[in-house]
A and B are shown apart, each in its own frame.
Chain A
Amino acid sequence: MREGKDHFPTSGASSFLRRPTIWDTCLLIFLLLLTFTAPRILIGASGGSLKAGSYIEVRTVDGSSVISLKKDATHIVKGPLGAAKIIIEDGQARMESAPCPLKICEAMGPIKNAGETILCLPNRISVKVTGGEGELDAVSR
Chain B
Amino acid sequence: MKKVHFSEWGIESPKYWGLLALLGVVIAISGGAAWYMEHNGHWVTGMTNQIVWGTPHVFAIFLIVAASGALNVASIGTAFDKRLYKPLGRLSGLLAITLLVGGLAVLVLDLGRADRLLVAMTHYNFKSIFAWNIFLYTGFMAIVAIYLWFMMDRRMNKYYKPAGIGAFLWRIILTTGTGSIFGFIVARQGYDAAILAPMFVIMSFAYGLAIYILVLLYAAKLDGREVGDKVLFRLKNLLGVFAASVFYFTLVYHLTNLYGTENHEYERFILLDGGVYTALFWIGWVFVGNLLPIALVYHPSIGKTRGGIIAAATAVVLGGLATIYVVVIGGQAFPMAIFPGKTVLSSGFFDGVNGQPFLYSPSLPEVLLGIGGLALTLLLTFIGIRVLQFLPVTLSDEAMDPHHVKS
A binds B: no
B-side interface residues toward A, CB under 8 Å?
Answer: none
